[in-house]
């Protein structure tokens, strides 16, 4: 009789406590802010010009970007939905747009005087150091008496010899009057590498097959003699 009484006394303590429903707390990340839209520069005043200087056939997609803001606010997914293919072209464009936001322009990106896609460069002499410098000037401007500090000195352009201006896309003017830079297709393009004998993974196999084919052709040529 004692056993049932003891079991009856212990029954309240033997019942398992109900398991509380578990839930996972998850921190929601902050929505990624849209990067600011940069302003156009004198060399690249609009979307068609920017796509033109970037090259890689991006000019054919100019109708996909009706405004400057739309070009800089679309994501990779949105570019794909618009039909911008292949994927490497989207990556290339987005990489350049990010560079543009940071001010990492290509040749002529620091020009201040550009008219109808043309920028003019002239050679001036610094009176303090007697060094020849390349400056960007308006078309037909006379800078003989201008202060050096007020002139625009673009990066990447130097003086060769007595008056020859050397630099990206620089075309010499007649009578050594300076140089002209014209906006052209692929002016800022990052050229793609050319694979020789395939990529890294297939290069050894490709060259091995070439050696076999060369030896076979050599044996056949010797047998015909």
pTM comes to 0.70
State the Cα angle at 53 between 167 and 42, rounded to 5°: 75
Peptide bond into 86 cis (omega under 30): yes
How high does pLDDT run on average in the chain? 85
Name the CATH code of domain 47-101 (choices 3.40.50, 1.25.40, 1.10.3470, 1.10.150): 1.10.150
**Residues shown for the chain:** 225
Q: Under a CB-based contact definition with an 8 Å cutoff, are residues 118 and 110 in contact?
A: no
More reliable by pLDDT, 223 or 129:
129
Q: Where exactly are the structural domains of the chain?
A: 47-101, 118-182
pLDDT tens, residue by residue, 53-106: 999 999 999 999 999 999 999 999 999 999 999 999 999 999 999 999 999 999
Residues 43-46: contacts with CB under 8 Å, at least 24 apart? 43/105, 43/108, 43/109, 43/111, 43/114, 43/119, 43/183, 44/105, 44/109, 44/183, 45/114
Query: For position 222, what pLDDT does the model report?
Result: 76
Q: Under a CB-based contact definition with an 8 Å cutoff, are residues 178 and 164 in contact?
A: no
């Amino acid at each position: 009789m004692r056993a049932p009484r003891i079991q009856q006394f212990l029954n309240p303590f033997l019942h398992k406590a109900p398991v509380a429903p578990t839930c996972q707390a998850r921190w929601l990340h902050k929505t990624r802010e849209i990067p600011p839209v940069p302003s156009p520069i004198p060399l690249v005043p609009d979307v068609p010009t920017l796509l033109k200087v970037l090259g890689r056939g991006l000019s054919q997609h100019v109708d996909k970007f009706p405004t400057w803001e739309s070009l800089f606010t679309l994501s990779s997914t949105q570019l794909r939905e618009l039909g911008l293919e292949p994927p490497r072209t989207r990556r290339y464009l987005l990489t350049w747009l990010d560079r543009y936001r940071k001010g990492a322009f290509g040749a002529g990106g620091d020009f201040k005087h550009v008219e109808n896609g043309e920028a003019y460069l002239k050679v001036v002499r610094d009176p303090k150091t007697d060094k020849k410098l390349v400056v960007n000037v308006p078309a037909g401007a006379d800078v003989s008496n201008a202060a050096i500090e007020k002139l625009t000195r673009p990066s990447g352009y130097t003086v060769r010899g007595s008056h020859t201006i050397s630099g990206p896309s620089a075309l010499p003017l007649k009578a050594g009057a300076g140089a002209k830079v014209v906006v052209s297709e692929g002016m800022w393009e990052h050229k793609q590498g050319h694979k020789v004998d395939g990529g890294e993974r297939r290069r050894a196999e490709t060259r091995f097959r070439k050696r076999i084919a060369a030896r076979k052709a050599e044996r056949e040529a010797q047998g015909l003699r």
